[in-house]
């Protein structure tokens, strides 16, 4: 499996993935099937986790975010799946109903490295978290919660708060990460985002 750095995603590549995500949503609205071009399939055939996030523009309020953190599907296919799920199946929001609404949203695609279980005493977890670089996945029994690296930056979390908020996302108590029976995983990501709808795209590693 390639590392994130080995992907070498250019701004042009990022633009193509954003365009694929938008196309997936539009075609879903029309009841049409969508697939990727052969060059996109070839470039992004590696199996990696993907999240797609939708924001209103220019206020940048969350409009949808769903993803798959595990490397069991090619990137290009995960972009299609998570874009459709974020636009129509995020239970926190009503489904997108028109292309006009989509034209007022920016898109952000996050490609994830495989989550790695922290096999250390919970008191040492904070040493393995770099705010803005590290994402967290918490598991306890059937409960699971994930927060992308950018969430800690957006909300000004420190390492401990980030751990606690990921537990809350999983439906656990705030300090459940301190329990040795709780599994804490870390991952890194590449973020591809639009600065404005159908506008310039930047790639951040």
88-128 pLDDT, tens digit per residue, is 999 999 999 999 999 999 999 999 999 999 999 999 999 99
CA angle, 131 as apex, 60 and 196 as ends, to 5°?
Answer: 20
- Segment 8-37 shows an average pLDDT of 95
List beta partners, residue 28.
none
Question: What's the token pair of residue 134?
Answer: 């590290």
CA distances from 164 to 5, 147, 179 (A): 29, 11, 12
- Mean pLDDT score of the chain, rounded to an integer? 95
At 4 the pLDDT is 84
| For residue 1, pLDDT beyond 70 | no
Determine whether 19 is exposed, middle or buried from the number of CB atoms within 10 Å of its CB (0-12, 13-18, 19+).
Answer: middle
At 50, list the tokens.
């993907």
Token pair listed for 25: 């949503």
Look at residues 65, 69, 36 and name the one whose alpha carbon lies nearest to residue 50.
69
pTM equals 0.94
Decide if 184 contacts 125 (C-beta within 8 A): yes
**Strand ordering across the sheet containing 183-187:** 116-117, 183-187, 135-140, 143-147
In whole angstroms, give the CA distance from residue 193 to residue 52: 10
Name the pLDDT band for 3 (thresholds 50, 70, 90).
Answer: confident
pLDDT computed for residue 156 by the predictor: 97
Q: How confident is the model at residue 130 (pLDDT cuts 50, 70, 90)?
A: very high
| Confidence grade of residue 5 (pLDDT, cut at 50, 70, 90) | confident
């Amino acid at each position: 499996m390639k590392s994130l750095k080995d992907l070498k995603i250019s701004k042009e590549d990022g633009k193509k993935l954003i365009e694929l995500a938008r196309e997936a949503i539009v075609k879903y609205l029309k009841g049409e099937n969508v697939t990727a071009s052969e060059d996109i399939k070839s470039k992004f055939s590696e199996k990696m986790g993907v999240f797609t996030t939708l924001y209103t523009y220019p206020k940048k309020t969350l409009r949808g975010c769903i993803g798959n953190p595990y490397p069991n599907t090619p990137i290009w296919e995960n972009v299609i799946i998570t874009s459709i799920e974020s636009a129509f199946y995020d239970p926190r929001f009503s489904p997108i109903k028109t292309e006009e609404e989509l034209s007022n949203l920016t898109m952000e695609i996050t490609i994830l490295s495989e989550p790695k279980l922290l096999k250390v005493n919970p008191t040492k977890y904070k040493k393995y978290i770099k705010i803005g670089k590290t994402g967290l996945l918490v598991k306890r029994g059937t409960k699971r919660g994930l927060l992308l690296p950018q969430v800690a930056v957006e909300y000004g979390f420190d390492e401990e708060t980030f751990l606690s908020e990921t537990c809350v996302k999983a439906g656990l108590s705030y300090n459940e990460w301190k329990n040795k029976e709780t599994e804490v995983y870390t991952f890194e990501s590449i973020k591809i985002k639009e600065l404005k709808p159908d506008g310039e795209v930047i790639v951040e590693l």
